[in-house]
Chain A
């Protein structure tokens, strides 16, 4: 982190960049928030640790419209989103200075709290430079130690790899955290009976409060005007009034990013209700892989997305019914 701060200050001082987009410490030890740093003294709040899960690519849509270059800290998975935004002409590569930051898996405070850890005062072992395999959590009721992997976000267990796809320089080491297949859960749901599937999604989606956090945090949801903001539309900008609207919102949200979703997992991370929203995105990714060939959005900006291209031999929609 010190190396990152020193380099950011240097680039700011020599005028290469006009501002730095990173994370600053929040009110609690586990909720750093994205922030701009424009002056050297601002850096006293700068943090980069295991809780810095936010994907800053989304903020670059607005940042690259500002005067001068913006230095942005991107984790390996965030670079996929950035690439995808370049492809869609939503960010200006010339106005971004990308520092690829190391990542050893990001932490999920909800998951830590679920393990019965209450009254958290401070957490050590979350530092990115720290090689420790455990997290030591100082709570009101004494110290607790858990393995680092037990506190990790779901998306880090199915990590796409620790290679930065786009960067100007890389600071910090990354560590591979993949220990599961990302389609396991999707396959499990697919194998359920229709009534069970329906009951599962009914239960999950009924928790939705339509705060729109999933949409706002998603780097692929980059429309200037969202369809859900239209006042001509029944489901716009309000709480769900019936059980259909919950499903419609989530199906359409996922559909609008199908083929562009890099599976960065921000939707599930920001959901205050803990709905596993990535299950929708992953279903589309799984189907795209199965029907139209393997595709990873944001990996290669020269390849057209699966929903903006076609082949004459594509499968017919009846394949869904035939598959059973």
Chain B
């Protein structure tokens, strides 16, 4: 039995958070002492619109089990319209991932404002739980030398 098999599965989760709302929301969650799992690694981006579909795929390539993108609520974007474009892109990308057979629970978009520390922590708790139930991401990893 390998060593890995004995270890509890700890998902690796990447969260892209926009600088103006969600990142501040994560800050608020922290300063309000709201707990969310340490499995979530936050990457700050200037705007949710900055998230290139390649970022999501690259996160999976580098071993992420789930990727979540957080931005300002539609209508509240610091740059007026960034999140509207991001919304269309992510809808198409997620649909494509679903199409090639990647479980659609592994990707998620959530709009979190700077005042929503509670929403940030509940979203992250929910998402980590979901990834726990889906297990390790094997489909988007390297499948060579596996059965």
Name A residues whose Cβ lies closer than 8 Å to a Cβ of B: 189-190, 194-202, 227, 234, 242-245, 247-248, 251-252, 254-255, 258, 280, 283-284, 287-288, 291-292, 306-308, 310-312, 314-321
Contacts and interface: CB of A to CB of B under 8 A. Distances in A.
A243 B84 contact: no
A245 B84 CA distance: 29
5 shortest interchain CB distances as A-B pairs: A198-B101, A197-B101, A310-B84, A242-B142, A243-B143
Contacts of B78: none
Contacts of A202: 143
Interface string B124-147: 000000000000000111111000
B81 interface: yes
Contacts of B90: 317
A292 B101 contact: no
Contacts of A318: 108-109
A251 B53 contact: yes
A314 B140 contact: no
Contacts of A288: 92
A320 B91 CA distance: 7
Which residue, of A197, A234, A251, A307, has the highest number of chain B Cβ atoms within 10 A?
A251
B57 to A, nearest CB: 5
Contacts of A317: 87, 90-91, 94, 107-109
Interface string B77-105: 00001001101111111111111111111
B140 A196 contact: no
11 contacts: A194-B101, A195-B101, A280-B96, A284-B96, A287-B91, A306-B88, A307-B89, A310-B84, A316-B87, A320-B91, A321-B105
Contact of A314 (B53, B88, B99, B139): B88
A251 B96 contact: yes
B136 to A, nearest CB: 14
Interface size class of B (residues with CB under 8 A): 35 or more
B100 A307 contact: no
Given A201-B100, A310-B81, A321-B104, A247 B88 contact: no
* Interface majority SS (helix, strand, loop, mixed), chain A: helix
Interface in B24-49: none
Given A195-B101, A202-B143, A254-B96, 18 more contacts: A189-B99, A194-B98, A197-B101, A201-B100, A201-B101, A242-B144, A243-B142, A247-B140, A248-B54, A248-B58, A258-B92, A287-B95, A288-B92, A291-B88, A311-B84, A316-B91, A316-B109, A321-B94
A310 B98 CA distance: 23
A244 B142 contact: yes
A189 B99 CA distance: 7
Nearest to B143: A243
Contacts of B85: 307-308, 310
Given A194-B101, A201-B101, A243-B142, A314 B96 contact: no
B102 A198 contact: yes
A255 B81 contact: no
B88 A307 contact: yes
B120 to A, nearest CB: 17
Contacts of B97: 251
Contacts of A284: 92, 96
Nearest to A313: B74
Given A194-B101, A243-B143, A320 B61 contact: no
B105 A243 contact: no
A318 B89 CA distance: 12
Given A287-B92, A307-B85, A317-B109, A312 B101 contact: no
Nearest to A319: B91
Nearest to A252: B54
B91 to A, nearest CB: 5
A255 B140 contact: no
A165 B89 CA distance: 28
A252 B53 contact: yes
B141 A244 contact: yes
A307 B61 CA distance: 25
A181 to B, nearest CB: 18
B91 A314 contact: yes
A159 to B, nearest CB: 24
